[in-house]
Amino acid sequence: MSPFLETLSVTRTELLRTLRNARVLVLLLLFGTSTALIGLMLGLLTRGLDAQGPETAAAAGASILGFLWGVDGGAVEHLSELPLLVPLVFGADLFFLPLFIALLGYDQLSAEVATGSVRYLAVRARRGSVLAGKFLAQAVVMGLLLALVVAGLFAAGAGLRSGLEPVSYAAAAARFWAGGAALAFGYLALTALSSAMTSSPGSSLLLNVGALFGFWLLHAVGSRAALVHRMGGSASWTEDLRWLSPSAYASGVLGSTTTLLTSVAAYAAFGAVFLGVAWAVFRARDV
């Protein structure tokens, strides 16, 4: 069988198993419920702003979005044309998405190794096909989840503000989904790498969460140094550390077209590196 057909077979099997997994279904329900609750709370807080008219809502939204997400001026102006609920809730979802992805797929390979079932898979399909198939199954689930979240957010936003232009509103929804999918791709690859490097689900989860914390720490150290520099302090080599972390590019998902494309390229690069290392590790290990 060709690698392509092997990958499709593994993807189909893993997708069916994922959708039948009670833990995964609970996680998906939890993510959707938490998004709805955050949206409800923020909707109550921002309803007054959206009711004061487009100009007032846009001005208030620009200030809030610029403070919370640090996006550039052009992007703030573009986002402020949307109901404030939409970018606020989506930004909160992006913050928690890496941890959710870790909880969703940490055992995709390590569980097979722990039970020994990976030996049967390795006989019927190439290890690269096994890795790619499991990764694609997780990616399909995340893509569908993001589509549901974005559709729900934009539907709720349309109910909060009248006079929205349908074509541009739908285009904004597509941009949000594309940016979220790019971010998810990078972190899904990190989860696949963590699972490929370990021999038990527990150690895989610990490694994944530890990697997330390490990347967050790099971003925090670099961002603090950059802030000190902008406020008149001396430049430091630690400023550039933040660009080694995937989280440094999260704000670009909500940014202008240029920053969005930069973030997409960055997450594609991170994902390619993580998947390449995962393939090398999984191919070389004794199962």
* Residue 53 or 97, more confident: 97
Convert the pLDDT of each residue in 189-237 to its tens digit.
999 999 999 989 999 999 999 999 999 999 999 888 887 877 877 788 8
pLDDT > 80? residue 69: no
Residue length of the chain: 287
Q: Find out whether 134 and 108 touch, Cβ atoms under 8 Å.
A: yes
Convert the pLDDT of each residue in 12-68 to its tens digit.
988 888 888 887 888 888 888 888 888 787 777 666 665 555 555 555 555 666 655
pLDDT > 60? residue 280: yes
Q: What is the C-alpha to C-alpha distance for residues 20 and 258, in angstroms, rounded to an integer?
A: 40
Residue type, 224: R
- Closest listed residue to residue 218, CA positions, set 249, 189, 255, 248: 248
Q: Find out whether 162 and 52 touch, Cβ atoms under 8 Å.
A: no
Residues sharing a CB contact under 8 Å with residue 109, sequence separation 6 or more, in sequence order: 118, 130, 131, 134, 192, 195, 196, 204, 282
Rg (CA), the chain: 21
Q: What is the C-alpha to C-alpha distance for residues 240 and 182, in angstroms, rounded to an integer?
A: 22
Residue type, 47: R
Could you give the percent of the chain with pLDDT greater than 90?
Answer: 34
Residue 2 banded pLDDT, cuts 50, 70, 90: confident
CA atoms within 13 A on the CB side of 260: 18
